[in-house]
Structure 1
């Protein structure tokens, strides 16, 4: 797997990451969502450098200009609900992409420290031969990303796969690395050290879905 950890180089991205982590700033839900969206835009820009391009002629009022434009047929898939702001940021840059949405959540059994990933809702176009961008803001254990991809397989085999996350744990990165083809790209804003006993990223930022949209009742 090709891992692109954007935090390895300093950029304005550091500001957006610091604000989504801050316990005071993240209380502003609108700002939290916008920061996730902005991170999605940065990740989308970096991802665009790995796409295919072809030379196209563009007519201007005064003549003709030649420019390389992306030649990929993109399907952007996000995991609900936390993935919506990240999806919007990516869609701001890949505005002609087809879109897929899937719900995946942790179902805790008797032991609150163990869980399984449940996929319930899925809407997806044909993926055959296309460029799949699979977005999930928090790459904790990596199980949601893998379960989502398994659910997408009946819709066709993508030509290439790009995974996009805001914050990940080393365990989650290793998990997806072992479950996706070596040609897959992972674009991630930053990678944290570990998970706690409940499978949440440390230091992380908390629950991205709750911070963006409000607390939810547990299953």
Structure 2
């Protein structure tokens, strides 16, 4: 077997001890749907906090006043145009965490993508980016944040990156829980200059059905209790 390729420099895998413990809990088949939802949220908070610390900067704003009447220097985050792009369905489990971290509300643009079972290639079935709506003149966000818990073959992530790049976004942040090494590399190499990928962990292998090994199972099924559909 060939040695695994080194992850590209635009891939960041956390070594936060609390995150690693939560990821271990999430792997278990005995973890309930309620706890899966909680763990996805908590892991997303930690990964998102690490990622946004690098992706967002703060600039001085106008003077403000505290409830006691003291003046202080306000701070404004940059870039000012950010959007969240959850990949349906499982990306929905990460939205609340991302919204909690960002200092102001931002648009949410959903992308529906699934893997064709035979070829494992991505198929888009839903897209509500503004340029797909007639007569809506909304410029693309400077920073688009893809929310996708699992990067397996990387095909879905690559398709989302291509769509957002065509939309005109300047930078893409991919927040995930876990990925397979080959899929993460595939996604990272799609647009190295414009994409940063942040994960809690990376597995070395994929099964012949394109599932991570040992992985987490199907996160969408575990979140929405549709196992065995």
Shared fold, TM over 0.5: yes
User: Which deviates the most, 175-184 or 139-148?
Assistant: 175-184
Under a length normalisation based on structure 1, what TM-score does the superposition of the two structures give? 0.87
Q: Which residue is equivalent to 1:152?
A: 164
Structure 1 contact 83–137 (Cα < 8 Å) conserved: yes
Aligned residue among 189, 194, 208 for 1:178: 189
State how far apart, in whole Å, the 2-side matches of 1:101 and 1:183 are. Answer: 20
User: Which deviates the most, 61-70 or 46-55?
Assistant: 61-70
- SS of 2:46's equivalent in the other structure is helix
Q: How far off is 1:153 after superposition? A: 4.2
Name structure 2 gaps, 5 residues minimum.
1-8, 131-137
**Which protein has the bigger strand share?**
1
Distance of aligned partners of 1:83 and 1:129 in 2 relative to their CA distance in 1, 3 Å threshold = closer
State how far apart, in whole Å, the 2-side matches of 1:88 and 1:101 are. Answer: 14
Aligned residue among 120, 125, 134 for 1:120: 125
Q: Deviation above 6 Å: which 4+ runs of structure 1?
A: none
Structure 2 contact 10–192 (Cα < 8 Å) conserved: no
Aligned residue among 2, 6, 13 for 2:19: 13
State how far apart, in whole Å, the 1-side matches of 2:227 and 2:35 are. Answer: 20
Aligned pair 1:65/2:72, yes or no?
Answer: yes
Name structure 1 gaps, 5 residues minimum.
none
Structure 1 contact 119–148 (Cα < 8 Å) conserved: no
Under a length normalisation based on structure 2, what TM-score does the superposition of the two structures give? 0.84
Aligned residue among 96, 106, 109 for 2:115: 106
Q: Which residue is equivalent to 1:40?
A: 44
State the Cα RMSD in Å: 1.9
Distance of aligned partners of 1:10 and 1:48 in 2 relative to their CA distance in 1, 3 Å threshold = closer
- Count the aligned residue pairs: 209
Q: How far off is 1:10 after superposition? A: 3.5
